[in-house]
Chains A and B, each alone.
Chain A
């Protein structure tokens, strides 16, 4: 129970403790961490035989360790209090050394609720206050009852919005909401199949390479392979071509299964029962199978939108919509609001955020061709030098690799030039970038913070530039555009920034 239970609390500063069950949850958490060492210890000790004698010593130690665990968890819980004051939230913690932290409401960008598996069984949530300090320094209260978490969130929101009088009574725990986007099991599984993870496959292959000492021969030494095939170890050649092909297919299939499996599992765990709603406080997103998160993003704090797709999924019309906001997803550059959706589903969400998708007749401008040519030439010089060096090396046939590389650079740069573009309309800046998977950023012109034109020595000589736009909570740059275009974009954007002060935006 809380030190002061009840709903009317919160106006004055009353020190409250977290939910008492959280001490049990934390004790359990520590116990699971202890389970492995204890298990190992018991195996080694009990292996020695003479069980009855040893257990007399061993059991009290185990019990003492477990007891100490719960004692510390309990002490920590006793000494952790939080206090909701008129202007800030204050947290005091620490058993031996005490810390007091105060976070003013004005600085709290957002409050998110997170439920990990064990607290979820007890109906507890972890309340995280995002201050924009980023990651480790964020304030979090673990764990509160679901109702208390919801109450705190509403309280902070209302305080921030400046309604300070008596809102504690007016808070509705479930404000009227409108479902904007949801993903059922079928959609999540489809999504998971597209999340085929090349990195995991590469990692798995690397792992296989690391542990190939378990094999009786060196898998990666082709010379030795040739020797084996030619020499007395004709066994593989003797198996026949079909068997070799079958072996290679089995290896490839294993890697594919690993790639699809991890993608599927990760996606299902993260995106299960994805729901995006529009509430009067902003966009509310809930997702997750074991760890369920509940995040509300105030609409007026959305700085920009990012729409992306994938190499393969673009042919099926699947897109991802993220918002760049002052408060960030933990470690992630943007909040996913629709990770896997058709454009028809994305359009209403975009409309809700107050942004607009690129209109049909928009004047898209490509980047400067000279920028791409220079990049190709620079890459070509490096790889060309490598090719020449290889031509005089003992293995001149390797020459083909840098030559293919030069060709690849030419293709990439042409493709990138062809599909990357930027556009400006009276309200928004659009930046489209593409290498295999097109990404479009849509930023509101008034919500930008600064404009920088940067030029390296080659760029200055050739007359192109990179435009860096200061975006709160994210990055937005337009690379390799003609300097006239850069100057024009800068003037237009600065003119719209100057019309609105920052305080009217956030």
Chain B
């Protein structure tokens, strides 16, 4: 909390950040696959219904699907990160639109640990902290191993309790 541990001049950078669980990349891939279903349907339906439809017309669709399944998940995974240092939760995310949010433990109102169906299948969880502010009233950090998320919740809760006592 002294200025010595101040973050470097470039505000959104990855130093000192923990990366998310590698399984989260797989989850993002599966989400990409789900999204590619409508793309593939849109690309194949004319091929079946219209006679003499060139197969080359499907190439852009295949490219999009490749991006959705292979490229975007790993880039999104790499763009995300978090840190719990100095009694603050720091969440960094976004490829194009970067955001770097810091919530000091002393400002956390309550904490949620949630699991969607895909996350449950991979034993992952999303940690959400709620603040009293209108902006960033809830800050979500997806892609944590479930036991890590629970441990982080305990860490934050212990810090809050210690502060209030």
Contact bitstring B100-140, A, C-beta under 8 A = 1, else 0: 11111011110000000000000000000001111111010
The segment from B5-13, B46-54, B58-66, B68-76 found at the interface with A is: B5-13
**Nearest chain B CB to A481 CB, angstrom units:** 10
Interface residues in A446-505 by Cβ distance below 8 A to B read: 448-457, 460, 465, 468-477, 483-484, 486-488, 490-492, 494-495, 497-503
- A349 CB within 8 Å of chain B: no
Q: Does A321 contact B (CB under 8 A)?
A: no
Q: Are A490 and B7 in contact (CB under 8 A)?
A: yes
Interface string of A247-275 (1 = CB under 8 A from B): 00000000000000000000000000000
- 8 nearest interchain CB pairs? A470-B133, A449-B133, A501-B163, A452-B101, A472-B132, A449-B131, A487-B11, A501-B106
Q: A471-B133, A497-B104 are in contact. List 9 more A-B contacts (CB 8 A).
A: A449-B107, A450-B103, A452-B136, A454-B98, A455-B98, A470-B134, A491-B7, A495-B2, A502-B132
The residues of A that contact B96 with a CB separation of less than 8 Å are: 456-457
Say yes or no: B133 contacts A472, CB within 8 Å: yes
In the assembled complex, which residues on chain B have CB atoms less than 8 Å from the CB atom of A501? 106, 160, 163-164
Which residues of A are found within 8 Å of B153, using beta-carbon distances? Answer: none
- Name B8's closest neighbour in chain A (CB-CB): A487
**Is the pair B133, A450 in contact by a Cβ cutoff of 8 Å?**
yes
What is A's interface to B at a CB cutoff of 8 Å?
326, 448-457, 460, 465, 468-477, 483-484, 486-488, 490-492, 494-495, 497-503, 506
Instruction: Report the separation of the CA atoms of residues A471 and B137 in the bound assembly, to the nearest whole angstrom.
Output: 9
B100 and A452 within 8 A (CB): yes
A463 to chain B: closest residue by CB: B10
Q: How far is the CB of A205 from chain B (nearest CB, A)?
A: 35
Q: Quick check: B134 and A483 within 8 Å, CB to CB?
A: no
B92 closest partner in A (C-beta):
A453
Contacts A/B (CB < 8 Å), 6 sampled = A448-B133, A450-B103, A457-B96, A487-B11, A498-B106, A501-B160
Give the nearest-CB partner of A333 in chain B: B134
Are A498 and B104 in contact (CB-based, < 8 A)? yes
Is B135's CB under 8 angstroms from A483's CB?
no
CB distance from A368 to the nearest CB of B (A): 13
Q: Which residues of B are in contact with A by a Cβ distance under 8 Å?
A: 1-3, 6-12, 86-88, 96-104, 106-109, 131-137, 139, 160, 163-164
Is the Cβ of B132 less than 8 Å from the Cβ of A494?
Answer: no
Residue of chain A at shortest CB distance from B133: A470
Q: Which of B1, B132, B134 contacts A495 (CB 8 A)?
A: B1
Contact partner of A503 among B101, B104, B163, CB < 8 A? B163
Q: How far is the CB of B10 from chain A (nearest CB, A)?
A: 6
Query: Which one of B1, B97, B103, B135 has the greatest number of beta carbons of chain A within 10 Å?
Result: B135
Residues of A within 8 A of B163 (CB): 501, 503
* Bound: A471/B131 CA distance, A: 9
Please determine whether B135 and A487 come into contact, CB atoms closer than 8 angstroms: no
Of chain B, the residue at the smallest CB distance from A499 is B1
A444 CB, min distance to chain B CBs, angstroms: 13
Contact of A449 among B10, B98, B99, B103 (CB under 8 A): B103
User: Smallest Cβ distance from A439 to chain B, in angstroms?
Assistant: 17
Tell me the bound Cα distance from A473 to B133 in angstroms.
6
- Count of inter-chain pairs, beta carbons less than 8 A: 124
Chain B residues near A500: list those with CB within 8 A. Answer: 106
B86 touches A498 (CB 8 A): yes
Q: Pick the contact of A471 from B2, B10, B11, B134 — CB < 8 Å?
A: B134
Chain B residues near A488: list those with CB within 8 A: 6
Whether the Cβ atoms of B134 and A465 lie closer than 8 Å is: no
- Given contacts A456-B97, A497-B106, A497-B107, is CB(A487)–CB(B132) below 8 Å? no
Inter-subunit contact B106/A452 (CB<8 Å): no
In whole Å, how far is A217's beta carbon from the nearest beta carbon of chain B? 51
Note all chain A residues with C-beta closer than 8 A to B88.
494, 498
What residues of A have a CB within 8 angstroms of the CB of B134 in the complex? 470-475
Known A483-B9, A490-B11; judge A502-B106 contact (CB<8 A): yes
CB pair A453 B99 closer than 8 Å: yes
Give every chain A residue within 8 A of B160 (Cβ-Cβ).
501
A457 to B79, CA, bound (A): 13
Q: Which of B8, B87, B97, B137 contacts A498 (CB 8 A)?
A: B87
**Whose C-beta in chain B lies nearest to the C-beta of A471?**
B133
Known: A495-B1, A501-B160, A503-B164. A469 touches B102 (CB 8 A): no
- Bound-state CA distance A484–B101 (Å) is 16
Which residues of B lie under 8 Å from residue A326 when comparing CB positions?
132
Say which residue of A455, A477, A499 sits within 8 Å of B97 (CB atoms).
Answer: A455
Set of chain A residues within 8 Å of B10, measured between Cβ atoms: 483, 487
Q: How far is the CA of A477 from the CA of B134 in the complex (A)?
A: 11
> Is the CB–CB distance between A450 and B107 below 8 Å?
yes
CB neighbours of B7 from chain A (8 A): 487, 490-491
B131 and A454 within 8 A (CB): no
- A450→B101 contact, CB < 8 A: yes
A491 to B96: give the CA distance in the assembly, Å: 24
Which residue on A lies nearest to B89, using beta carbons? A450
Residues of chain B within 8 A of A455, CB atoms compared: 11-12, 97-99
Give Cα A465–Cα B133 distance, bound, in whole angstroms.
20
In the bound assembly, the distance between CA atoms of A253 and B25 in angstroms comes to: 67
Give every chain A residue within 8 A of B12 (Cβ-Cβ): 453, 455, 460, 465, 483
A456–B98 alpha-carbon span in the complex (Å): 6
Contact yes or no, A491 B3, CB < 8 A: yes
Given contact pairs A468-B135, A490-B11, A494-B104, A452 touches B99 in the complex (Cβ within 8 A): yes
Nearest Cβ distance between residue A438 and chain B, in whole angstroms? 22
In Å, the complex CA distance between A96 and B87 comes to 52
Contact A453 to B136, CB < 8 A, known contacts A487-B11, A491-B7, A498-B88: no
Q: Which residues of A contact B132 (CB under 8 A)?
A: 326, 449, 470, 472, 502, 506
Complex Cα gap A483–B11 (Å): 6
Q: Which of the residues B2, B8, B101 comes within 8 Å of A451, measured between beta carbons?
A: B101
Chain B: minimal CB distance from A306 (Å): 14
A457-B96, A471-B135 known; A452 and B102 CB under 8 Å? yes
Q: Closest CB of chain A to B117's CB: distance in Å?
A: 29
